[in-house]
Amino acid sequence: MKTAVIVTTYNRPDALAAVLEGFCRQSDRDFAVTVADDGSTEQTAAVVRLFAERNEIPVAHVWQEDRGFRAAAIRNRAVASTDADYIIFTDGDCVPSRDFVKAHKTLAEPGHFLGANRVLLGEAFTSRVLHERLPIHTWHWLAWAGAWVRRDVNRLLPLMALPDGAFRKRTPDRWEGVKTCNLSAWRSDLVRVNGLDESYEGWGLEDSDLVIRLLHAGVKHKSARYAAPVFHLWHREQDRRALPENQKRLDELVQSSTVRAAVGLDRYGQAPS
């Protein structure tokens, strides 16, 4: 199964470096990384080049002009740039656990997408991770328990490691809480729904829109919680001025049977499968 990890980023090269370091130390190394760059400066390109030169895992860079928050568009460009069978989405401020890729690949199943969870790091701890280059992708349970005691992280439960099983399909129609910081899907299913809807500009809900349309297409939710956590580095809250309009668009989608994005992957030559 040819697998690509798509990492969305914008002008946070120190965080991206920590994330790429985590991907270059995965237990399963049979995958490629595409950095989906929503208009960053040359500093981000330099980080990508450094990792591409130093590591055997292929690291590519897809960039678009900075015209505000357009995560849906850059993710579509990244999907279109790879021929991988299976796509794992995450963000450039989410450090992967060591078995992150392995878990997504192990749990992948035709007719399903995977949604997993995250551990939130506090502001001071995030600063330490980045400035001291702490290898949190290698940490085991005891180290994280200590971080939780110090209130450096918000919870420990996502770090439980549970095998595959029927419990992972208990909420096949769930879309709430599934986010593109930790989501994977078959490329054929992404093409069928025309990828993310680029009508969503400004922060918020473009990932929920994708998940709902996958459900409308008959692709079911399978939980990858307690298998593939990411460690979300602290950042200030995004500008949410576009959220009311995005929420209105999402509410309309929920009441519909729409499958394909109005403005999506087909812009980049991706024909329905």
pLDDT tens digits, residue range 159-202? 999 999 999 999 999 999 999 999 999 999 999 999 999 999 88
DSSP letters for 225-272: TTTS-EEE---PPPP-TTHHHHHHHHHHHHTS---S-SS-GGGGT---
Structure tokens at 25: 């130390």
DSSP lists the bridge partners of residue 231 as: 95, 119
pLDDT score of 236: 82
Could you say which DSSP state residue 170 is in? S
Whether residue 239 is predicted with pLDDT greater than 90 in this model: the reply is: no
Q: Is residue 120 a contact partner of residue 232, using CB atoms and an 8 Å limit?
A: yes
Residue 270: pLDDT band with limits 50, 70, 90: confident
pLDDT band at 39 (very low <50, low <70, confident <90, very high): very high
User: Of all residues in the chain, what percent carry a pLDDT higher than 90?
Assistant: 89
Looking at every residue in the chain, the average pLDDT score rounds to 95
Residue 273 has pLDDT above 60, yes or no: no
pLDDT for 272: 64
219 token code pair: 């692709």
Q: Is residue 42 over pLDDT 80?
A: yes
Q: Is the pLDDT of residue 271 over 70?
A: no
Domains of the chain (ranges plus CATH)?
A: 3-268 (3.90.550.10)
Query: For residues 35, 117, 259 and 5, what is the CA-based torsion angle, rounded to 10 degrees?
Result: 20
> Given this model, what pLDDT does residue 241 score?
78
Q: What is the pTM of this model?
A: 0.96
Q: How far apart are CA 15 and CA 88, in angstroms?
A: 19
The partner residues of 121 in beta bridges, in order of sequence, read: 153
pLDDT digits (tens, 9 = 90+) for 95-154: 999 999 999 999 999 999 999 999 999 999 999 999 999 999 999 989 999 999 999 999
Q: Per-residue pLDDT for 7 more than 80?
A: yes
